[in-house]
């Protein structure tokens, strides 16, 4: 039997943002069973909280319905908020497959209103399958070069000329699923306000309402292509077309030659608590 909490992440109201199931005491649950539980929960990600091994506060394993991820954004932030909601902690360090992720909290009246995580700095390169990607999206080009970033998951970025064009996208999900190990992020906007849509059939997610792991690299992508500035905080809306609006904030510090820090911020609302009753197979 395992206790779990469901939180809607990157949202300040229930039934919006991106839900994550957080299993609070997962010690003793084997990885194969974690994967089966994640499939049963049928959310984009489910996390399992374990004792720390490398000096952090907890260790976290993250599963989609089809595979384990070394790092993901909304599950990490959501797990941190769920854990901190039962304490007065101002910071927690979560050990992930990509290393320690510090998360700090801002509170009003004891309630967390903002959590900010320091993300792994990604590697990046031009996306090798750009023509196939654009064809699957029904597009002929991108407003800026299509690059792929990896900070755990791999994310590719396609620029659209405006919000209307972004909302009108109807991608070929079967064709996208043939692109190996990539979340496809389509973005539009200007200045400090942007909107993103993430299609991830390779990760078992046809469309994601809030993708924290993509928010940091998007800020970097915008800075590298001079659509936003290093050191500037941008707002990223996602999930609008799905009826689950979310809001993320991202900031990258440094330069093209030396990225120093990537932070992504948002909030979360706890919407359910439960017990998982199924016994592990013998």
Q: Where are the domains of the chain?
A: 2-120+267-276, 123-262
At 86 the pLDDT is 87
How far apart are alpha carbons 184 and 207 in whole angstroms? Answer: 9
Residues 6+ apart with CB under 8 A from 268: 7, 8, 9, 10, 11, 17, 77, 78, 81, 82, 112, 115
Q: Enumerate the β-bridge partners of residue 197.
A: 186
Tell me the CATH number for domain 2-120+267-276.
3.10.310.10
Exposed, middle or buried: residue 142 (CB in 10 Å: 0-12, 13-18, 19+)?
buried
Instruction: Please check whether the domain covering 123-262 is classified as CATH 3.10.310.10.
Output: yes
Domains 2-120+267-276 and 123-262 share a fold: yes
Write out residues in the chain with pLDDT < 70, as ranges.
1, 280-282
Residue among 128, 18, 153 at smallest CA distance from 78: 18
Computed over every residue of the chain, the mean pLDDT equals 96
Residues 242-275: tens digit of each pLDDT: 999 999 999 999 999 999 999 999 999 999 999 9
32 is catalytic: no
Q: Tokens at residue 5, please?
A: 């909490």
- The residue from 32, 45, 95, 257 that is catalytic is 45
At 281 the pLDDT is 62
How far apart are alpha carbons 157 and 66 in whole angstroms? Answer: 23
């Amino acid at each position: 039997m395992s206790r779990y909490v469901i939180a809607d992440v990157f949202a300040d109201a229930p039934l919006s943002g991106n839900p994550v199931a957080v299993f609070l005491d997962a010690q003793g649950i084997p990885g194969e069973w974690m994967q089966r539980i994640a499939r049963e929960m049928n959310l984009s990600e489910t996390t399992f909280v374990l004792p720390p091994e490398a000096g952090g506060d907890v260790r976290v394993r993250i599963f989609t319905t089809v595979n384990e991820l070394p790092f993901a954004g909304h599950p990490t932030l959501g797990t941190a908020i769920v854990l901190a909601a039962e304490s007065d902690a101002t910071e927690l360090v979560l050990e992930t497959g990509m290393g320690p992720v510090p998360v700090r909290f801002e509170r009003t009246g004891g309630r967390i209103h903002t959590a900010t995580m320091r993300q792994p700095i990604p590697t990046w390169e031009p996306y090798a399958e750009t023509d196939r990607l654009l064809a699957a999206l029904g597009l002929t080009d991108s407003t800026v070069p299509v690059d792929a970033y990896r900070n755990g998951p791999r994310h590719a970025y396609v620029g659209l000329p405006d919000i209307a064009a972004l909302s009108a996208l109807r991608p070929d999900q079967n064709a996208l699923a043939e692109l190996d190990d990539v979340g496809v992020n389509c973005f539009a906007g200007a200045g400090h306000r942007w909107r993103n849509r993430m299609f991830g059939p390779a990760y078992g997610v046809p469309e994601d309402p809030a993708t924290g792991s993509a928010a940091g690299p998007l800020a970097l992508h915008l800075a590298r292509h001079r659509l936003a500035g290093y050191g500037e905080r941008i707002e990223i809306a996602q999930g609008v077309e799905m009826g689950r609006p979310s809001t993320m904030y991202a900031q990258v510090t440094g330069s093209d030659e030396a990225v120093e820090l990537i932070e992504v911020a948002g909030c979360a609302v706890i919407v359910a608590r439960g017990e998982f009753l199924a016994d592990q197979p013998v």
